[in-house]
Chain A
Amino acid sequence: MNPVPLKESRVLRWTIAILGLVLVLSVTQELARPETNDLISAGTAGSTLRRAVPILLAGLGGIWAERAGVVNIGLEGMMILGTWFGAWGALEFGPWWGIVIGIAGGAAGGLLHAVATVGFGVDHIISGVAINILAPGITRFLSREIFATQTGGGITQSPRVESVGHVDFPFLSGGEVFGWASPDTFGWIADRGWFLVSDLCAVASGVTSNVSWATLLALALVPGTVYLLWRTPFGLRVRSCGEHPVAADSLGVNVYRMKYAAVIISGGMAGFGGAFIAIEQTGIYREAQTQGRGFIGLATVIFGNWQPLGAFLGSILFGFADALQLRDRTAVHALLLLTGVAVGLVALRALRRSQPVGAAVLLLISALVLWWYSVTESVMSELPPVTPHIATLLVLVFATSRLRMPAADGMRYRKGQE
């Protein structure tokens, strides 16, 4: 088999998928006007990206641990450590050091998880839950010792922290080049109001203007993880530990060392995610500000079939739901329309694959959601904040078919076992 056409067809498939997605969004937007203008806009796109980053980082963290065969349900706790240490580092040494120290805080949580699960063979879930319980306790204690003595700080929050720099892309979104303001191409087209084209450019404008350097760093970790895990000897050894540790051991791979490394990297990623929330998203450390994003990140691991790109797509999806409910609550009502349409499309696909029962159920759901949309003006106030979680559930329900987890994921490994 020649690999080149395969690659081309993959690029083509992705292009079609993205265009199709924007088309669905555009159509839904037109239907939902004038109720909301936020379904597809530069603001929503930018916000989606910012909201997606912590989830993405948790997801990448999950991939690192699980590819090495360690289930890391402690991502949430490691993220919490990241928020605190990130904010503390940013206060003491400036925002970039905050990111670094946040990563270190998460990595320390990862090390603890590795010692428990790899070193002592503790059940992965139990250790993870323990870390999730331990982390808020540690941060509360540290806050009382440190933040409570500072002006603007208290036992549940830090003083305000400065964020790292932001950037507008030159020529695309009007960034400066040596002091000269380049044209804002995407912004200009977005304002024309051309169907689909303007919407595409609005999205592009949103993700290329006022972008935090930390966001760019986080995005770079997606290809970075792919490279490390699939192109280097280290990555191959890590993955072999998640698939068949006995085989890896029989070939002289130090299984324990690989697992330790992967779980520490996993914690570092989650810590970065936490630091991002504190430093970039909110500009302050506040207790419980991770809001379960570590768990949602874990969901993107499954959604993304243990692949970094898949986790990235998952994080964008959850980021979108999150952004929408934050920016404009009426947009969540329009989201019902979108959900109805999307479920309808999945139903059609099921019909094409001759799964009549599934198709009928999905069509019924689709009809119910659309009916709900048409007879109501707004949704109850409880719904918007839980939208990301409902989206998580829906996606996992529809995405679990072709998933394949690492074969030895979650299993205890002892050297010399057979």
Chain B
Amino acid sequence: MPPATAVELTGITKRFPGVVANDDVHISVTEGEIHAVVGENGAGKSTLMKILYGMLAPDEGRMTVTGDEVSFSSPGEAIDRGIGMVHQHFMLADNLTVLENVILGAEPKRRGAIDLEAARTSLEELGASYGLDIHPDDMVDTLEVGERQRVEIIKVLYRGAKILILDEPTAVLVPQEVEELFRNLRELKAQGHTIIFIDHKLTEVLEIADTITVLRAGRTVTTVDAADVTAQELAEMMIGGDLPSPSTATHQIDDHVTLALAGVSVTGDDEREALSDIDLTIRRGEILGVAGVEGNGQGELIEAILGLRQLAGGYLTFRGEDIGQWPVRRRRESGIGYVPEDRHRRGLLLDAPLWENAMLGHQTVEPFAKGSLIDRSGARKATEAIVDRFDVRTPGIDTTARALSGGNQQKLVVGREIAADPLLLIAAHPTRGIDVGAQAAVWEELRRVRAEGLSVLLVSADLHELIGLADRLVVMLGGRIVAELDPADTTPRLLGSHMTGAEVDDGEPAT
């Protein structure tokens, strides 16, 4: 008898305004297996899992769980069906104990009060039977990341889940913790649980998964047996074959170094080293592309250059001057522009009018300020100029930023930075989540300013963008630069191999 199907998703489609996150997705998960779902950022993995866990409702498609057709309107209904989810960002209250976090919403009762003894016993039993080491009375804020994740898994098991969804569980873990997690997952599998594992680190996926489903741009590419596939083949499936031809426009890069990092190290939020010994130079008229799976130090690199994060070691020179100790404002005023990765959180005041948004980061200099005061008419005139020059489609400059589409918001941000005539532009994912037209406009603008001698640090997850725009590429992995490549003879496949740490065995030059 073939093993039963635990979860089957058929023709799932989910649309958000302007994007189709899932487009006719098919996945079939066999009971008792570890099934990995892989794909690039934005491929629709998280959306799909939220649909399965009842956090989002699909627009089209059918779901069956252990043979019964279901439709969930809340996570509670998914929990009742034996589905549990370990979120990428932990859902734990810091100021409550492990025990309280686990039993919340499903408390054992005795005479109206919480039966603490019964709760503690069942927690310890769960911990012992799955080899998950936890202490029920610890406050969650004293726990390490790995321990928190164990609490999340216990939380799901406590509710009787047989099907566990783990959303990028290794993203926050160090290698030893990953090994511990994998031990726990194999133990769960041995006891008959089904695990759906979302990730984009291919070596890990190949180590733990039985079956792998690849998503690309919201569609199912294929489902393969983990034993029959290599990391390179997976990377290729994730990224796809068709590429735009790289820009052939000739331009001048001179020898003048705009920005140089020498031996830069930075400590991350979790007190671990987020950047180790980074050496980088960007010359005038050059676009340096930084590739890497998200969370490998790109954010910290940007923050270190901007001055948002203290250097733990090394030197940072901008046009020959050591700026390592300069405050952010002085760095900005000396000519560093910044297009942030998340325009809503870092780039714009959504409820402020465009003309106020246009002066963010430049509020101390002309034309936005006169002396120590804001120059309203100057600011408005400058905003009009940005709106015209960068084709920001808006009814007027008194409109709030929230009213604009994502592409127009991004054009405003990019325009604001370029109009300030910087010498170095840091662009983090400048075309993420915007439509094709706006994307082309942003690319065109970056090429144009490069021709004028601007230096650009381009951090992106879009490999086509990197290969098409950059003059030189570096790959970051685990807070280090692991490769430097010439985009002219780089393929997304090679880049993907470097990004995921897979072996490069096809003889292409890696330097």
Chain A contact residues, CB within 8 Å of chain B: 227, 231-233, 236-237, 239-240, 243-244, 246-248, 250-253, 404, 406-407, 418
* Chain B neighbourhood of A404, CB < 8 A: 95
Of the candidates A240, A250, A253, the one whose C-beta lies within 8 Å of that of B96 is A240
Q: Are B107 and A236 in contact (CB under 8 A)?
A: yes
A243 to B189 Cα, complex, angstroms: 33
Of the candidates B75, B87, B113, the one whose C-beta lies within 8 Å of that of A231 is B113
Q: Are A251 and B105 in contact (CB under 8 A)?
A: yes
Q: Are B92 and A244 in contact (CB under 8 A)?
A: yes
Would you call B106 an interface residue if the criterion is a C-beta within 8 Å of the partner chain's C-beta atoms?
yes
Of the candidates B74, B93, B105, the one whose C-beta lies within 8 Å of that of A243 is B93
* Chain A neighbourhood of B168, CB < 8 A: none
**Residues 84-137 of B at the A interface (beta carbon under 8 Å):** 87, 89, 91-96, 100-101, 103-107, 109, 112-114, 116
A404 to B93 Cα, complex, angstroms: 13
Given contacts A236-B100, A252-B79, A252-B105, contact A406 B95 (CB under 8 A): yes
A251 to B155 Cα, complex, angstroms: 9
Q: Are B106 and A243 in contact (CB under 8 A)?
A: no
* Chain B neighbourhood of A243, CB < 8 A: 93-96
- Distance (Å) between the CB of A380 and the closest chain B CB? 43
* Chain B neighbourhood of A407, CB < 8 A: 93-95
- Distance (Å) between the CB of B78 and the closest chain A CB? 10
19 contacts across the A-B interface (CB closer than 8 A)? A231-B116, A233-B107, A239-B93, A240-B100, A243-B95, A244-B92, A244-B93, A246-B91, A247-B91, A247-B104, A248-B93, A250-B75, A250-B87, A251-B79, A251-B104, A251-B105, A252-B106, A253-B105, A407-B94
* Chain A neighbourhood of B74, CB < 8 A: 252
Chain B contact residues, CB within 8 Å of chain A: 74-76, 79, 87, 89, 91-96, 100-101, 103-107, 109, 112-114, 116, 155
Q: Are A237 and B104 in contact (CB under 8 A)?
A: yes
* Interface of chain A: mostly helix, strand, loop or mixed: helix
Q: Are B104 and A240 in contact (CB under 8 A)?
A: yes
A251 to B84 Cα, complex, angstroms: 10
* Chain A neighbourhood of B75, CB < 8 A: 250-252
- Distance (Å) between the CB of B135 and the closest chain A CB? 9
Instruction: Give me 17 other A-B pairs in contact (C-beta within 8 A), A239-B96, A246-B91, A252-B79 excluded.
Output: A227-B113, A231-B116, A232-B112, A232-B114, A233-B107, A233-B109, A240-B93, A240-B96, A243-B95, A243-B96, A244-B91, A248-B104, A248-B105, A251-B79, A251-B105, A253-B104, A418-B89
Total CB contacts across the A-B interface at under 8 A: 66
* Chain A neighbourhood of B96, CB < 8 A: 236, 239-240, 243
* Chain B neighbourhood of A244, CB < 8 A: 91-94
* Chain B neighbourhood of A239, CB < 8 A: 93, 96, 100
Q: Are B114 and A251 in contact (CB under 8 A)?
A: no
Q: Are A231 and B114 in contact (CB under 8 A)?
A: yes
Q: Are A247 and B114 in contact (CB under 8 A)?
A: no
- Distance (Å) between the CB of A339 and the closest chain B CB? 34
- Distance (Å) between the CB of B419 and the closest chain A CB? 33
A159 to B250 Cα, complex, angstroms: 94
* Chain B neighbourhood of A251, CB < 8 A: 75, 79, 91, 104-106, 155
- Distance (Å) between the CB of B438 and the closest chain A CB? 25
Q: Are B91 and A236 in contact (CB under 8 A)?
A: no
- Distance (Å) between the CB of B504 and the closest chain A CB? 38
- Distance (Å) between the CB of A58 and the closest chain B CB? 23
* Chain B neighbourhood of A247, CB < 8 A: 91-93, 101, 104
Nearest CB in chain B to that of A418: its residue: B89
* Chain A neighbourhood of B105, CB < 8 A: 237, 248, 251-253
A95 to B237 Cα, complex, angstroms: 79
- Distance (Å) between the CB of A284 and the closest chain B CB? 40
Nearest CB in chain A to that of B94: its residue: A407
- Distance (Å) between the CB of B65 and the closest chain A CB? 18
Nearest CB in chain A to that of B54: its residue: A250
A250 to B106 Cα, complex, angstroms: 12
A251 to B93 Cα, complex, angstroms: 12
A227 to B116 Cα, complex, angstroms: 13
* Chain A neighbourhood of B76, CB < 8 A: 252
A206 to B101 Cα, complex, angstroms: 44
- Distance (Å) between the CB of B77 and the closest chain A CB? 9
A239 to B140 Cα, complex, angstroms: 14
- Distance (Å) between the CB of B402 and the closest chain A CB? 16
A14 to B473 Cα, complex, angstroms: 65
* 3 pairs of A and B residues whose beta carbons are closest in the complex: A243-B93, A251-B105, A247-B91
* Chain B neighbourhood of A246, CB < 8 A: 91
* Chain B neighbourhood of A252, CB < 8 A: 74-76, 79, 105-106
A195 to B491 Cα, complex, angstroms: 90
- Distance (Å) between the CB of A257 and the closest chain B CB? 13
Q: Are B104 and A236 in contact (CB under 8 A)?
A: yes
Residue with the greatest number of chain B CB neighbours at <10 A, chosen from A236, A244, A250:
A250
Nearest CB in chain A to that of B96: its residue: A243
* Chain A neighbourhood of B100, CB < 8 A: 236, 239-240
Nearest CB in chain A to that of B87: its residue: A250
- Distance (Å) between the CB of B177 and the closest chain A CB? 21
* Chain A neighbourhood of B116, CB < 8 A: 231
A369 to B92 Cα, complex, angstroms: 48
- Distance (Å) between the CB of B112 and the closest chain A CB? 6
Nearest CB in chain B to that of A306: its residue: B95
A237 to B100 Cα, complex, angstroms: 9
Given contacts A248-B105, A253-B105, contact A233 B114 (CB under 8 A): yes
A231 to B100 Cα, complex, angstroms: 10
A227 to B103 Cα, complex, angstroms: 17
Nearest CB in chain B to that of A246: its residue: B91
- Distance (Å) between the CB of A11 and the closest chain B CB? 20
Nearest CB in chain A to that of B106: its residue: A251
* Chain A neighbourhood of B114, CB < 8 A: 231-233, 236
Of the candidates B79, B92, B93, B113, the one whose C-beta lies within 8 Å of that of A232 is B113
A418 to B101 Cα, complex, angstroms: 18
